[in-house]
Each structure stands twice: as C-alpha cells, then as structure tokens.
Amino acid sequence: MEEETTKLGKILYNLIDAMFWVADETARWWQISKISIQVKTFRRQKAALNKQIKENEQNSIGVSVAQTAELASLNESISKLAAKEDFLRSQCWAWTPLFDFSLILLLFLYGVFSINPIQNIVDRHKSSIGVFGGQISRVRELPFQGHSIISDSIWFNNKLYVAGNNGVTEINTISGQANAIKDLPKDYYAKDLLIYNNHLLISGYPGVYEYENNNVKPLIQNSKLSNMLINSFAVVNEKKKQFLIGTLGDGIFRCNEEKIIPIPKTEDYIVKNFGHQKKELWILHEDGIITGNSDKLGKLDLQVLAGKKPRCMITTDKNVFIGTDKGVVLGIRDSKNWVWTMLSTTKPGYINDITNAGEILFIASEEGVFRYYKGKMDRLSSIPTYSLCLCDTFLAATGKSSVLLYYFDFTGNIGNTSIFGVVPELGTYTPNLPITTLSMGNRPIQTRMPDYGLLETDGKQALGISQAQTEDYAPDRKPMIELPIELQRPVFSDISKFNNKYYLATTNRGIWAFDGKNWNQVSHNGKGNANKLCSNQKHCYAYSKDSGVYEILDNIANLVIDPKDTANLRYLSICENDTLLLLYADGKVKTFSNGELSLTFTIPNEFIDNCHSVWKVSNQYIAVLNQGIMVYESNGKWNLKIFQGIIDTARISDIINIENKNLYIALNDGRFFEYSNNKLMLSGIIPDHPISIKYSENLWVSSVDSIYVKEGNGFAPVTFKSGDRILGAFTDKNSKNILVFTASGLRILTR
C-alpha cells in the first residue's frame, strides 16, 4: 500500500513539474518572440540611419553628433537584446516550434480528410478496368420482366439487383431466377442502389432501406424524414455513417442514422446524381449542375448544356460525363481551366445511364448500348437500355425485356465463375424464369404506338371491331343535324352532357345547348367567354381563367365565382358533395362550397408545372401529373404513383371521374389508366392520340377523326370515320343510338 502511494505521489509530482515546465517554456518563448520583434525594429531604424548618413556623405555633409549618438544607442540596444535572446534560447527546449508546427499540420490534415464530407463521398461506379477495352467475346441474354420503369442496377453478393417502379428484383445470373425483394413497402418505387458496409442500400419512394441476408430494415427511421420521396442517395463517410439525400420537394439533406440537416438553398432541386471532383461536390439536378462544398453551393452555367435536359452524370479524377436527352457532354479539367464538349454529335442521343471502367465509358441509351474509348464510339447493341453496372469482368445492360451480360476478349478461364458459371454464346441459354415469358399474340395490336416494353397488358382484350353501330360513313353525306349559322366555323373547346342536354363550349362563340332538335345559345350576365365545362348529375359549370365560374341552368349561366378569384385558374372539377375544386397555376388548390372560397392545400413546388388537375376520388384528393398521380394523405404528405411505361414524354390528354369512384386518365400516346380502390392500373391502349373521354353508359374515346369504345378489358374502334374534328360521343338512352358531335354538326349512329 505504501509502495502504491509512493508511485502515485511520484506521478503527481511529475505532472506538477510538467505543468510548471509548460508554463515556463511558454513564457520563455513569449519573451523570445517579443525580443525578436524589438530587434527587427531596431535593425530597421539602424538601416535607415546608415542610409541617411551615406546620402549626406555623397552631398559633402558631415555626420552630426546626434546621428553618431543615435547610431551608438541602436548598436548597444541590439547587442543587449541579442544577448538576452541567446540566454533565453539556451534555457528552452529546441524542438518546441517544430512540435507545435507538426501538431497544427496534423490537425489541418485531419480537418481536410475527416471533417470535409466531400472528400470522402463513395463512388458508386467503382470497378476494375479488366478487359473492357477489347472486343466482345461472349454475350449472355437473360429474359427479364417485372418493371416497366428501370431506375438503377448493381452487383451485390454475386447477384444482380435491378431497381424500378415495382421495388427491387434479385437476379441469380447462374440459374436465371428472378425474384422480387420482399418486405419493402407496398408500391415501393426504388430509385437508387448503393453498397455500404456489406449492405445493399435501397432508396426511393418512400424512404431508405438496407438489405442483407434476405432481411430488409429502414436505414433511417421514416419518422425522422420530413419527406420520404427519396430521389437520390450518396454515402459520404463509411466509417462515420454519413450520407447525402436528395428528395422530391425538400431539397438536399446531410444526415447520419440519428440526425438530418437540410442544406440551405437547395429546396428547388430534384437531384439525379451526386459526384465529386477534387475537393468539390458535384450535384446533377433536372435543370443543370451545382458545385462547391456542402455549406456553399453555386450554379455551374455551361453553354454546352443549353437546350439539353441533363439525365445522368459520373465524375472521375479529371473528367465529368453528363448524359442528356441529346447526347453525352464531356468536361475535361486541365491545370487551370475546364474544357467542355459534346462526346458525339450523332448517336447515342437520348441517354439513360452511363458508367465507366477507367478511361472506358459505357453508355445506355434509347438507341442501344455504346462504348467510348480513346476517341472512338462503338455500338455494342441496338436494344434500348436503361441501366448499366460493372463487376470485375462483366458489363450488365438492363432493358425492359432482358438483361444482356457482356464479356470482352475471352482468352482463358473466367476468373469469377461463381457469379456466372460457364458463359455460353448468345442464344444457347434458356433460363427457367419464375415469371412466364408471354407471347406477342396475347398483347394488344398496336399500329402506331411506341414500344412500351412489358406493360401489364396481359389479359386485356385485343383491339377488334365494335359491332355497336350499323352506319357507314360517306364523305358526301351531310350531318343529319347541322349546326346553326351562328355556330359555323367556331373554335370548339369542350362538350358535356347535363339534364338531357348537350352543351358545347367554344372560344369565340360562347356556349350553346342542344336538346335533341334545336340549338340555343346560353346567355350569361358576365363578360368574356367561359370556354371550359365541368358537370355531374346535379350541376353544370362553365369557367375560364378570365371570366369566372358560371352555373348553367337551362339556357342561362349565372355567375357564382367572381373573375378576380379565377385569375390563373388552371382546372375545375366537382366532388361528390357538389363542392368545387379549383387548381391554380401557382399550385394552390381551393374549394368552393356554400358561396365561400377557401384554400385547402398546395401542390409541392417540383410538381406544379406537370400538374394537370386535382380530383376527389373515394374521399381522397388526387393530383394528376403527366408522370402519374399523387394521393394526398391525411397527415399532409403525398403518395406518388407512377404511370407504367415511358413517362418522359407523357402528357395528359383528358380525364373523367365516374361517380367520384373511378378516375380514367388518357395519355397523349394512347395509354389509358384507371384509378380506383387506391390502385392505379393500365386499362387499355388505342392506336391513336386521344382527344377526349366521355362516359354515357359506356366509356367513349375520341381521337381527331375516330371513335373507340371500352368493351371488356380493352378498347374497340367504331367503324366510323369523320372528315371533321370529333368533339365527343354519347349514348342516347331513349333510342340507344350513338350521338357523335363533330365540328360541322351531329351524326347519329343507329344500332
């Protein structure tokens, strides 16, 4: 015990001595610093005095007594201070300055490499260069089905994982078996895949999840996410578990498993890719690029991107590759400047994904798969491809109907046969897929439609000829009921059926009513033309953004909402309880009931431009976008559902809500979707561009000069061809005839 006390006392005495030594050492170096400053000051004064004496000598002026005395005083002061400095330095530890400098340097380097998150962003495209520069020696095709939208793909644990609008599919490339990852949320839309700490990270709508050993769990608790619509994800620091999140609607966030911090002034960005160049963070969003560090980001204006839509990006040590809708843009960094240029002026054009192996760039596009190497662009296949990923030996190119595995310069045994087994030539391998490949005979006949890939059209009725009518069209036959003289050459904008009357709206002739025999103009007490119509079984309204909203009763329209309240009005719809829903150009949605107009909610900023209209279906608010629908949840959040198929060029043609339970949506390319019972389903396809949808016992679809009727699980064309623009088709309940309104009058098709 006494021995331990003695040791403790020695340690305490040593600590006290060390404290006094540090204090004394610090005081001595402080004095040395002060003396050094004084010595330098006296030496400058001495140099100035010697210069003045020399100038006087050149002008034959002798040295004065005062100058001699001042010079002697300066020499004496310098000598004393120098002697004192030497004495103090002899008492100091000589390594102290070097030790302090080394400590400061180490702290600086720690800050650069550990604190700065940009320096450690994990590259998702890591891969060995391998033999990707040679010629293709083996190609293996795996028929693939399960996603109408392909978002990303990645190799993980010797298997290929594909992300899309139906979650994530795991593909065993030896057996060809494809299975969906279970336990992800229902209707999960996977956007981004990353590998982190031997886990597969899956981010998308809604939230971020990690997958390992067939188990799925949230990486970040959804309750901590203010917006669960994750569009992109990046690992910043693997050891400290730091991430970057790009959301839809709330901008970019820095986070770990506990905290989420928003990055200021990024709320308007929908991020597609993260990357880094030197010490800079590169962020690709829908409208361009921002760079900098996470605390200070700035827009990068590139003339080469003018008129192009950025779609994907990868960064290397010296280059940046940007895939656009009009080719690939290359950025080359030299010692001082950036040089930006187009990689190719022809094909590939519409870029879906890019990846690289060293200096070799692979490009997935609508025209197929391309490889760019040493200034040469090679086409590997002509199949539209949406995602690329590399392992040490193979390139996997994922399309909507198959996955192609490329091997280059096969000169010996494959080093990693545990992934692929023996790779046969193209066409010699038939996998046993759990999802049966469907014959084209079971699919709708499409005459002018683009290829949508494997949509859920199976079981839908093939296009046939409807037997609902018996009249044949003759070009010289006049309409059975012509339009009145006042309605000749109008610009029709809408048509609606209400109270056994048909109302036609125009942009230049007002609104007209047809009762089966006569045409009458609807009078109103306001100014301007209300050229859009909205109706249900009880009410019919006419409106426009300039003239207000009118309720039509017989042939009179009464103003119910003042024109000042409809400025910038985009769309009007009616709910089951007769409440009106008004969508404005700024994204605000208001309700009108009992004579009062009130704000209900606002469409998120990033969806405002693409929002067509707002409806109420089965007591849920639905915002219809060009790319899909958003369901307004009770907690103020949105649930996004994407249309199946190509959505980049999709536009809403028309919408109809039947009894506030079934919402039918027509896209400009001929696809029809039905939303009911909280499900969004493909309802059918027509080989034309739809203009309007009307419901009268059946669902009638009008194109510019043709009519289609919904029969069973598909749409059948009516053997009627109009020389004039078709406005809409309705079933006459009394006679069971089909009334077809055209730009020149009414045609009646008898059954």
DSSP states of 218-261:
ESS-GGG-S---EEEEEEEETTTTEEEEEESSS-EEEE-SS-EE
Contacts of 143 (CB under 8 A, 6+ apart): 176, 401, 402, 431, 433, 437
Give the per-residue pLDDT at 445: 25
pLDDT digits (tens, 9 = 90+) for 402-424: 888 887 764 434 344 344 443 33
**Residue 79 half-sphere exposure toward CB, CA atoms < 13 A:** 6
Tokens at 340, concatenated: 């930006």
Among 171-180, 480-489, 721-730, top mean pLDDT goes to 171-180
Confidence of residue 215 (pLDDT cuts 50, 70, 90): confident
* Cα(153)–Cα(196) distance, integer angstroms: 15
Average pLDDT, the chain: 76
* Cα(357)–Cα(236) distance, integer angstroms: 21
pLDDT digits (tens, 9 = 90+) for 476-527: 334 456 666 666 556 778 888 888 888 988 877 778 888 877 788 888 766 6
Tokens at 682, concatenated: 């493909």
CA 236, 180, 224, 616 torsion-angle sign = positive
Give a three-class secondary structure readout of 452-498: CCCCCCCCCCCCCCCCCCCCCCCCCCCCCEECCHHHCCCCEEEEEEE
Contacts of 69 (CB under 8 A, 6+ apart): none
Q: Where are the domains of the chain?
A: 18-57+67-94, 118-409, 587-685
In b/e form, how buried is each residue of 12-45, taking b as 16+ CB within 10 angstroms? eeeeeeeeeeeeeeeebbeebeebeeebeebeeb
Q: How do 556-561 and 519-524 pair as beta strands? A: parallel
Mean pLDDT of the 440-468 span: 30
Tokens at 647, concatenated: 């959505």
Give the per-residue pLDDT at 576: 81
Percentage of the chain surpassing pLDDT 70? 79
Give the per-residue pLDDT at 312: 92
Confidence of residue 451 (pLDDT cuts 50, 70, 90): very low
Nearest to 550 by CA among 503, 491, 488, 616: 503
Find the range with the poorest average confidence among 70-79, 115-124, 234-243, 676-685.
Answer: 115-124
Name residue, tokens 């400009």: 668
Q: Which CATH class is domain 587-685?
A: mainly beta
Answer whether residue 206 shows pLDDT above 80: yes
Answer whether residue 433 shows pLDDT above 50: no
Q: How do 319-324 and 327-333 pair as beta strands? A: antiparallel
**Where do the DSSP E strands lie in 409-467?**
none
Nearest to 644 by CA among 675, 689, 615: 675
Q: Which helix H or strand E contains 731, and what residues bound it?
A: strand 726-731
CA 148, 152, 156, 160 torsion-angle sign = positive
Nearest to 89 by CA among 40, 44, 36: 36
Contacts of 748 (CB under 8 A, 6+ apart): 471, 480, 481, 732, 737, 738, 739, 740
Q: Which CATH class is domain 118-409?
A: mainly beta
**Angle CA(93)–CA(95)–CA(101) in degrees, nearest 5?**
130
DSSP for residue 384: -
At 645, give phi and psi (nearest 5°): 105, -170
Mean pLDDT of the 595-619 span: 89
In b/e form, how buried is each residue of 179-210, taking b as 16+ CB within 10 angstroms? eebeebbebbbbbbbbbeeebbbbbbbbbbbb
Query: Greater confidence, 250 or 550?
Result: 550
* Cα(398)–Cα(364) distance, integer angstroms: 9
Query: Greater confidence, 734 or 49?
Result: 49
Radius of gyration of the chain (CA): 38
Q: ω before 206 within 30° of 0 (cis)?
A: yes
* Cα(591)–Cα(570) distance, integer angstroms: 14
* Cα(580)–Cα(6) distance, integer angstroms: 90
Kindly report the length of the chain. 751
pLDDT digits (tens, 9 = 90+) for 532-571: 899 888 899 999 887 889 999 888 888 899 888 988 899 9
At 569, give phi and psi (nearest 5°): -70, 130
Nearest to 311 by CA among 290, 288, 330: 288
pLDDT digits (tens, 9 = 90+) for 131-162: 676 677 677 778 887 788 899 999 888 888 99
